[in-house]
Amino acid sequence: MAQKDLYNKAGYWTFLITLAFNIIFFLYISLVHPGTPENPGGSNPSAQTK
């Protein structure tokens, strides 16, 4: 008796691609993106908060 794949191959690949995109996006936002004018990130550590 032949074995049959019991998982959704298209859904599996969609999940992996989405997971990889999210990880890359969060790394970009956390480490590369400079921030917005209202919140410049770590470029000026002596800035006072409101």
Rg (CA), the chain: 21
As a whole number of angstroms, the distance between CA 35 and CA 13 comes to: 32
Three-state secondary-structure class, residue 9: helix
As a whole number of angstroms, the distance between CA 40 and CA 37 comes to: 6
Q: How does pLDDT run along the chain (50 residues), one tens digit per residue?
A: 678 888 899 999 999 999 999 999 999 988 887 877 776 665 555 656 66
Give the pLDDT score at 7: 87
Give the pLDDT score at 1: 60
Give the pLDDT score at 47: 57
Give the pLDDT score at 4: 85
Give the pLDDT score at 16: 98
